Amino acid sequence: MTVNHTHDPAARSWVESANLQGCDFPIQNLPFGRFRTSGSREDFRIGVAIGDQVLDLKAAGLVDTDDMNALMAASVQDRLALRIALSEGLRQGSHNQAAWAKCLQPQAVVEMAVPCRIQDYTDFYTGIHHATTVGKLFRPDQPLMPNYKWVPIGYHGRASSIGVSGQRFKRPQGQTKAPDAQAPSFGPSKKLDYELELGFLIGQGNALGEPIAIADAEQHLFGVTLLNDWSARDLQAWEYQPLGPFLSKNFATTLSPWIVTMEALAPFRAKFERPAGDPQPLPYLDAPANRESGALNITLEVWLQTSKMREAAEPAVRLTHGNTQQAAYWTAAQLVTHHTINGCNLQTGDLLGSGTLSGPEPDEAGSLLELTLGGKHPISLPNGERRTFLEDGDTLTLRGYCERQGVVRIGLGEVSGTILGS
Ligand code: MN
């Protein structure tokens, strides 16, 4: 996944909106998603976002399938060839312009699906600042468990409740127990929260019993989405020991619709480094390439719009501004290798959540649990409303983008979700 002419900062597209400053989807990005005309009953088709348009890949003669997983299972060489064909065909002066212009639809008139068929979902816990802050709230005597700096911690999540941006869901109900209560009570969650995460999607899988070596792990990653791991903190606190989160997490998980490929992210890789004094990864999780460029440099933001703000036509307010580089203790390659090291097989389209990517500073926190210190310090919104946790009607949006000197900015787009009543 090296930088090549598809990342050329001078490249411009004949799709004019792709050349605008600050655009998430310039010609250097080329993310994949599944789309159809809004309100239609068409089958979802594979598209590539370019500016404010979607290019229909089958109509343009670039693929012969509507199955995103088939595209994701292609070899790294075939994926690169497709990226080069897209880049060259969408460039100013391309002889494909006349034909491909007929294969465009404005993003404003299409609806998106979950970007691929996800059979399994694993959520990791790579955000060390999140783990430390949350650990202090749940276990003041031992915030970070002794295994944290050795094992990429994860749990098996639920694939059936994964939705795409725009997802609306009911506030979950369940058992909760206040620390001083004699017995648990049942009712709607009063501590509904979000988690700011990246979702890594698997391209080619591995056979059962054949682990993926760290040196090969990047080849099995197809791309990245934004991921909101909605979390009912009061249900979580009562249920999570001894086997981890269950009903506090599996009612909804929301993804952004566009998969930004590992190829597109090539200019935004960073060194993987451990703070002085921390243990180095065991040899099976260590490789020169992972040290050199295993990390990702992605800026992440969280925005909130309450129903009052929406009724008053007030814009969403930003709660968080942070970066993946300071937040993640493990790289995506390490997650792939660790997941398969016991022989477990990953399949095309499997989703690996990064865990909440909170930075070291308070305003870089990726959940309300951290921003409000467990609900003890409400945050004040510009219209005078206060929040400890999410309320009915709240719309929560995650955004992500990559910027670097001398490189064209690319975006991950956004993922929104809205809480309905219980
Ligand atoms: Mn999570």
Tell me the CATH number at 312: 3.90.850.10
How close is the Cα of 204 to the center of ligand 1, in Å? 24
Please give the Cα distance from 407 to 405 (Å, whole number): 6
Q: Whole-model pTM above 0.95?
A: yes
The total number of structural domains that make up the chain: 2
Average pLDDT along the chain, 422 residues, taken 10 residues at a time:
94 98 97 98 98 98 97 97 98 98 98 98 97 90 93 98 98 96 97 98 98 98 98 96 96 98 98 95 98 97 98 98 93 98 98 97 95 94 97 98 97 98 84
Which pLDDT value is given to residue 261? 98
How close is the Cα of 195 to the center of ligand 1, in Å? 6
How close is the Cα of 38 to the center of ligand 1, in Å? 31
129 and 170 in a single domain? The answer is yes
How close is the Cα of 122 to the center of ligand 1, in Å? 9
How close is the Cα of 226 to the center of ligand 1, in Å? 12
Q: Which of 112, 137, 152 is the last residue of a domain?
A: 112
How close is the Cα of 400 to the center of ligand 1, in Å? 17
5: annotated active-site residue: no
Contact criterion met (CB below 8 Å) for 34 and 45: yes
Q: Which of 43, 77, 112 is the last residue of a domain?
A: 112
310 and 218 in a single domain? The answer is yes
Which pLDDT value is given to residue 282? 98
Contact criterion met (CB below 8 Å) for 265 and 2: no
**9 lies in which domain range?**
5-112
191 and 108 in a single domain? The answer is no
Encoded tokens for 387? 């929040």
Number of neighbours of residue 37 by Cβ within 10 angstroms: 12
Which pLDDT value is given to residue 138? 80
Which pLDDT value is given to residue 113? 98
153 and 101 in a single domain? The answer is no
319 and 244 in a single domain? The answer is yes
How close is the Cα of 135 to the center of ligand 1, in Å? 14
Write down the catalytic residue from 5, 7, 129, 130: 130
Smallest Cα–Cα separation from 393: which of 278, 308, 318, 325? 308
Number of neighbours of residue 187 by Cβ within 10 angstroms: 11
Number of neighbours of residue 318 by Cβ within 10 angstroms: 13
320 and 377 in a single domain? The answer is yes
22 and 142 in a single domain? The answer is no
314 and 341 in a single domain? The answer is yes
Which pLDDT value is given to residue 184? 98
353 and 216 in a single domain? The answer is yes
Number of neighbours of residue 322 by Cβ within 10 angstroms: 24
Please give the Cα distance from 368 to 373 (Å, whole number): 8
| DSSP codes of every residue in 113-128 | --SS----EEEE--BH
Kindly list the protein residues that place their beta carbon closer than 5 angstroms to ligand 1, a single-atom ion. 123, 195, 229
Bond prior to 115 in cis (omega within 30° of 0): no
- Dmax over CA atoms of the chain, in Å, equals 74
Encoded tokens for 263? 């190829």
Contact criterion met (CB below 8 Å) for 165 and 415: yes
- Looking at residue 146, its amino acid is P
89 and 155 in a single domain? The answer is no
